[in-house]
Amino acid sequence: MRARVSWLVMLAVFLAFPPFQRERVEEMGFGGIFRIERMRADSALTQALRSRWDAEATAFVFPWGHIIPSLEDVSWITGLRIYGRPVSGYTYPCYHDLAERLLELSVERRSSLVPRVPLWESLGLFDVGKVAGESEDEHLDRLTRVSQRELASEPGAQADLDLRRFLMLFLGRLLIATRGNAVHYRFLPLLEDLAEVGGYAWGVAFLAHQFDSLGASEKQTLISGFFPFLQVWAYLHLPALGRGDLARPGLVPVARRWDSRRDSRNLEDQLERLQEAIDSYLHLDVVWQPYLGKGDEGQPWLVQARPYFGRPGHSFRGLHDTTDWRERAKEQINNWEHKGKAVKSTATTDDAYLQAYALKYGGKVYKSARHQVDVTGEIASLRALLYSAVQDQEAAQRQTAELRRELERVRGTGAGGASSSRGAGGSPSLLEAQLAGAVLRAEESQRQLEERERDLQLTTEHAMDLQGERDRLRGEVQTARSERDQLRIQAEAAKAQVAEATKDLAALQVKRSPGD
């Protein structure tokens, strides 16, 4: 609720700004956030995802491996810039002088926090509460009109003051919010020169803040910050969870396209069902590259962001090589927020990494809200190795096809009497023989990988059959135990009856006459 109120207030001030102020916000790279439709917060989805967050790996843990939000997700979903100067600086014990000079707000000595209400009031919003019978649109219109009366309509010192106050609220209460009601002044030094604000990599600071919030104490059930990002990330990558509706295709940034699907069940029921769905979520149902083939039209921020796309870490394959991505991103991540660790592994191959993953997590990744599913690490390892083998086989198939095409090209060139290899000192026949040998070796490797894939498939199926048989036997054992318990109860009842009958018999023996 607090996040929705902050979003509504910030949107009202943004709409109340005169056109030149809104252009300044757009130039800073924050315009995409204010074009996103007001989304309903899905607390059940956020809690279910948070319960799968592994702080050591800084990633979500699924039965088949890790998956993490990336800088590419931030750029596509929010439109925030992931390039530029790092959002970093020093945290001062008191911002009294800066606040008075840059915001004309008083701050208590030896304090770095300010209640959000004075900031709201400085922007003309003395009462942000909803009037009885007022719709959300009417509420937004009223706040916009009220704020508009207090904001400067022309460029100048007052307009700069309004913009700084707005950015303090936007960063401290919406984008990179901390828990609680107060706003931290840590961003204020970066807002002194408003012309420099757009040069910072705010998207990277936002992602680092998401990681930090997810890795906070397990007693916390929600995360702080701009909640639509994680929800839309789940809609895109984990569509089988069925939590979002694609209501407005084609709009940018991508978060504008989605609405949160309404669920009439209570939160506890939603959370339990979601956790069970995550427990059984299939690797093949994950959309690893939802932006594949998408263009940059209408999204100029993507052009400069593309060099940061495609970093390792999105899939379990090659996750042991994410250190490079972490180190590159570390240059951008602000030093206030980043507390995560890189994924560390001594594995040199995907198979070795996946085996280590299965041994470490095994059945631990299957956590339901009310029960623990017993799944052995061996089966998890087999599944992971099978996925790895399938992808290796597909890669070998593509390489073989490419070598065949090159061989056909060389044969065609040799038949035409013109060889591009002569100029390099080779002959068509020699190059053709080398390519033919490479094709044979590639085909042999592909056959071996196909055999390995079949073997792993059979082994996995056999292991799952054994697991099913084990579960059946466990069920029979449980039934036998239940019957045993029933018989024990019946035996105890019969024993009690015998004792009662013995007692009655003894009483009769005492009362009987000597002749009986």
In a domain, 392, yes or no: yes
Q: Packing angle between helix 43-50 and helix 267-279, nearest 10 degrees?
A: 40
Say if residue 236 is in the same domain as residue 384: no
Strand partners, 179: none
Q: How many Å apart are CA 384 and CA 388, to the nearest integer?
A: 6
pTM: 0.66
Please report which confidence band the pLDDT of residue 140 belongs to, taking 50, 70 and 90 as the band edges: very high
Say if residue 201 is in the same domain as residue 110: yes
Tokens of 61: 């843990």
Sign of CA dihedral 426, 430, 434, 439: positive
Say if residue 383 is in the same domain as residue 278: no
| Last-in-domain residue among 259, 285, 311 | 311
Domain count, the chain: 2
The amino acid occupying position 134 is E
Q: Which domain holds residue 254?
A: 1-311
Whether a cis peptide bond, with omega within 30° of 0, leads into 18 is no
Say if residue 23 is in the same domain as residue 150: yes
Say if residue 256 is in the same domain as residue 134: yes
Q: How many Å apart are CA 205 and CA 175, to the nearest integer?
A: 10
Average pLDDT of span 135-155: 93
Sign of CA dihedral 288, 49, 208, 77: positive
- What is the three-class DSSP state of 200? strand
For the ranges 96-100, 155-159, 288-292, 512-516, the one whose mean pLDDT is highest: 155-159
Phi and psi at 200, nearest 5°, equal -95, 150
Q: Quick one: which of 8, 76, 43 has its CA closest to 298?
A: 76
Q: What is the pLDDT of residues 331-389, one digit of tens each?
A: 443 333 333 334 456 666 655 665 566 556 544 444 433 344 444 555 665 666 667 66
Say if residue 105 is in the same domain as residue 254: yes
Task: Considering only residues 2 and 195, tell me which one the structure prediction assigns the higher pLDDT.
Answer: 195
Q: Is 80 exposed, middle or buried (0-12, 13-18, 19+ CB in 10 A)?
A: buried
pLDDT the model gives residue 312: 39
- What is the three-class DSSP state of 167? helix
Say if residue 32 is in the same domain as residue 132: yes
Q: How many Å apart are CA 231 and CA 73, to the nearest integer?
A: 12
